[in-house]
């Protein structure tokens, strides 16, 4: 992919003097390449740059609830209370800087049996557009959070989800070098309710879920643009209750990855 991108960039000056039919062909090649690259960046489960774990085994009726962007004083305790009420575990993709500022909350997540994932140190919104010069920053964002989580849990965190799910080949390469699994998702409520009642969101997520689904919630987001806490709780509770009624059980992404690796070895 990188070699073809470099080749097209080097060929782009030909647009100035090539005959018209050749210019059209080169334009089409450039457009196709750019379209593919944008799809690879923005589609959360695109494998253009490397492997993405976006679903567990479809042979079992199980789902994983994941929560990005925390820990958050406003939302994490409510999420934890809801999960505890139903007796299930989730996977929290934490932002390192937030986790360091909320160590007690991070410890509660761990003590209550939930899994942790790495969601970078500072949640830079444009990390996938850093380019080659951003390789050092990408590695720093991943490694700082990995080191913090290891210092708290005593073991290396293997799960990583990039901010907004946006990625490029540098992010995938950095994760591979660190032995990390890049995690996508199958279904996701919006970042905030957008005026939709919880019943509509619950119905939408349950409809989009199936055996092996990974459901992506947000554990806080941007101040002033987050869900109303009670609306979020009702939505989360409704999704859990609805999926339970359909016979699903809830596991962590770690369990899904472990099962996939065991199946591969068998």
- Kind and range of the H or E run holding 194: none
Which ranges of the chain would DSSP assign to H, the alpha helix?
Answer: 2-11, 20-42, 76-86, 96-101, 103-111, 135-153, 169-177, 198-208, 229-245, 253-265
Question: For the chain, what percent of residues have pLDDT higher than 70?
Answer: 79
Distances in Å between the Cα of 195 and the Cα atoms of 79, 189, 206, 240 are 21, 12, 19, 21
Q: Which of 68, 69, 75, 114 is labelled catalytic?
A: 68
What's 183's DSSP letter?
Answer: B
> Counting beta carbons within 10 angstroms of the beta carbon of residue 140, is it exposed (0 to 12), middle (13 to 18) or buried (19 or more)?
middle
CA 84-86-91 angle, to 5 degrees, is 60
The number of C-alpha atoms within 13 Å of 104 and in the hemisphere containing its C-beta is 2
| Spatial contact of 47 and 233, defined as CB atoms under 8 Å apart | no
Confidence band of 18 (pLDDT split at 50, 70, 90): low
The full set of domain ranges for the chain reads 2-42, 62-265
Catalytic annotation present for 54: no
Active site residue: 69, 114, 218, 219, which one?
218
Assigned CATH for 62-265: 3.20.20.370
Maximum Cα–Cα distance for the chain, whole Å?
69
Q: Which residue bears the tokens 């409704």?
A: 238
Let me know if 68 is a catalytic residue: yes
Q: What is the mean pLDDT of the chain?
A: 85
pTM: 0.85
206-255 pLDDT, tens digit each:
999 999 999 999 887 655 556 678 888 889 999 999 999 999 999 999 99
Cis? peptide before 54, omega within 30° of 0:
no
């Amino acid at each position: 992919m990188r070699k073809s991108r470099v080749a097209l960039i080097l060929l782009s000056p030909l647009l100035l003097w090539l005959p018209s039919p050749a210019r059209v062909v080169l334009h089409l090649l450039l457009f196709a390449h750019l379209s593919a690259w944008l799809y690879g960046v923005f589609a959360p489960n695109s494998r253009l740059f490397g492997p993405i774990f976006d679903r567990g085994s479809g042979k079992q009726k199980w789902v994983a609830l994941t929560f990005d962007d925390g820990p958050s004083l406003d939302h994490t305790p409510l999420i934890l209370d809801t999960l505890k009420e139903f007796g299930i575990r989730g996977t929290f993709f934490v932002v390192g800087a937030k986790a360091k500022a909320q160590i007690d909350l991070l410890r509660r997540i761990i003590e209550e049996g939930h899994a942790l994932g790495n969601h970078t140190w500072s949640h830079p919104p444009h990390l996938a557009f850093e380019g080659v010069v951003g390789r050092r920053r990408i590695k720093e964002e991943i490694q700082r959070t990995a080191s913090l989580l290891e210092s708290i849990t005593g073991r290396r965190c293997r799960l990583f989800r990039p901010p907004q799910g946006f990625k490029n080949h540098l992010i995938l390469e950095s994760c591979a070098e660190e032995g990390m699994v890049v995690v996508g998702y199958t279904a996701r409520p919006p970042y905030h309710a957008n005026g939709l009642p919880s019943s509509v969101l619950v119905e939408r997520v349950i409809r989009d879920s199936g055996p092996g689904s990974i459901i992506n919630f947000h554990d806080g987001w941007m101040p002033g643009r987050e869900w109303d806490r009670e609306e979020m709780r009702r939505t989360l509770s409704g999704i859990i209750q609805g999926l339970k009624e359909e016979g699903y059980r809830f596991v962590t992404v770690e369990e899904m990855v472990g099962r996939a690796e065991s199946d591969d070895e068998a």
